[in-house]
Structure 1
Amino acid sequence: MKEGTAQAWVVAVASFYLFMKLTPSIPQPQMYHDFADKRQFFGIPNALNVISNLPFMVIGLIGLMLCHRSNYFNLSSQGELWGWTCFYVAVTSVGFGSAYYHLGPNDNGLVCDRLPMTVAFTSLVAILIIERVDAKKGTISIFPLIMAAMISSVYWRFFGDIRPYLLVQTVSCIAVPLMALLLPPMYTHSTYWLWAAGFYPLAMMQETADRLIYAVTFHTVSGHALKHLSAGMVPLILTIMLAKRRLLHAKST
């Protein structure tokens, strides 16, 4: 590992340590599990919140298959393949994990939802490092970034503190659009990154307005179900981007 890379990791670890030392613990609010739409259809409790995870499963599995179908996405390095594989495995797992959670919302089930979601976030960060900074450094970053994501969710479940999870989510959601906007692209169709990134804050707003949306739609659909559909647009847009884009120039490997 080169000196600059090592220094970056030291700064990251030191910043995390200071963040944990200087900020108070944040427990998971139990009200979070009390969603507006509790209707049961076809014997499925909280049916729309469960079924609305289907796009994650479908898009994740399709993306995973295309990743390994004779390089359908024209990926330029093994690191990119690993990064996108991790992303699509995580997206698929979000679908199953979130559906499982919504069958009976509680903290144990929420881990199955959040853990793969953080892996998806950090996979995208690693992919952008590979594409726009340095292929070798980005490839090396895949494992520690994904481990940090997984630990953030496990830490919350064991210690009752969601700060690491919130940090991973927030940093990833800021880093992805900033890197896509500010760093020179390696491929065409770079704006798809920004379109995809825009759907996640929309999903967060819909989640926050869960009960309001359920009320104004006359109990037709809740904000949380719409959140799943909006968040599902992220892997869909990125999959379309991968299918359409072409190489502009190569980064160092």
Structure 2
Amino acid sequence: MDGEWWRKKWVAWAAAAAIFVVLMLVTPAIPQDEDYHDFADQRDLFLGIPNTLNVLSNIPFLFVGLAGLILCHYKNYFRLCSQGELWSWTLFYAGVTTVGVGSSYYHLYPNDATLVWDRLPMTIAFTSIVAIFIIERVDDRAGTKSLAPLVIAGALSILYWSFFDDLRPYAIIQFVPCIVIPVMAIVIPPMYTHSSYWLWAAGFYLLAKVEEAADKPIYRWTHDIVSGHTLKHLCAAMVPVFLTLMLAKRTIEPDRVSLLQMWKISWRERGSQDSNTVDVKYDYAAVSTTSEQQ
């Protein structure tokens, strides 16, 4: 059994490494855009804080991250079933907390050097979430053992960008989970209830990326009240908020039914109810007509 497990593990890692190498070979380097640091809202609104709203909008990360760290270790409030889950969620909330600090620091002095401290905590959060999903949906031991390699890979992607001005590894670390996690949340049966919260979290992250891309247009549309990047921070902070609510509410899922299976059952029941409703209306009309003829 152990031999089979190790074989599958190495096959999975070898496949991931091969895909990464192929992507690096067939895609061009992605340098950091020189205009990236030119945000729409650069106002000093109060307390002498430059880029005030872009700095202060990171505070929710700090509060949610600290709350999550405390609840992870307070009398097993989240009812985590294994040490692997505890370590992974602890790293996730540590990443969220340091995003609040690192991103605030970056927006005080936006440049490539400070951007490292914005992105590094995010990779810790991204990679921890991947390990959590492997633990919950695939195999506890495999997910636990993948945590350290994933986090190290995330950190190396930042170092690679910093030294070689190439964002490809970081882009893979950031965007692959955005695709894989919602798919896994829908298709693979969960260990816990309230699995739909993963989709809410993914939706808010997608919205945050749209707002980031529309930084200057949103600033114009709101008549210079708020920029897209500020809204991006607030929306992205909703990701750990929803995941914290999920952790607080969920219990062990006895039936292990995937969201996709649940949706199929719901659609069938709804279709059956609609069919019955049509039949009842038809029968009622027929009875009414007969009564009138009598």
Identity of aligned residues (%): 60
Provide TM-score, normalisation by structure 2: 0.84
Aligned partner of 1:60: which letter? G
Partner of 2:176: 171
Partner of 1:23: 27
Partner of 1:133: 138
Q: Indicate which of 83, 92, 102 corresponds to 1:97.
A: 102
The verdict on how the C-alpha distance between 1:105 and 1:24 changes in structure 2, with shifts beyond 3 A counting, is same
Question: Matched residues in 2 for 1:45 and 1:82: separation?
Answer: 36
User: What is the 5 A alignment of 1:108-127?
Assistant: 108-127=113-132
Cα drift, residue 115 of structure 1: 1.0
Cα drift, residue 104 of structure 1: 1.1
Deviations 1:41-74 (A, max 9, x none): 2110000000000010000000000000010000
1:220 aligns with 2:225: yes
User: What is the 5 A alignment of 1:49-198?
Assistant: 49-198=54-203
Partner of 1:47: 52
Unpaired runs of at least 5, structure 1: none
1:38 aligns with 2:42: yes
Cα drift, residue 119 of structure 1: 1.3
Count, aligned residues? 251
Q: Which has the higher contact order (CA 8 A, sep 6+)?
A: 1
Question: Matched residues in 1 for 2:222 and 2:161: separation?
Answer: 34
Deviations 1:84-141 (A, max 9, x none): 0010000001110000000010001111111111111111111011011100001001
Deviates more, 1:14-23 or 1:92-101: 14-23
Partner of 1:9: 13
Provide TM-score, normalisation by structure 1: 0.97
> Could you list the runs of 4 or more consecutive aligned residues of structure 1 that deviate by over 6 angstroms after TM superposition?
none
Larger Rg: 2
Cα drift, residue 250 of structure 1: 10
Aligned partner of 1:20: which letter? M
Q: Indicate which of 226, 230, 234 corresponds to 2:235.
A: 230
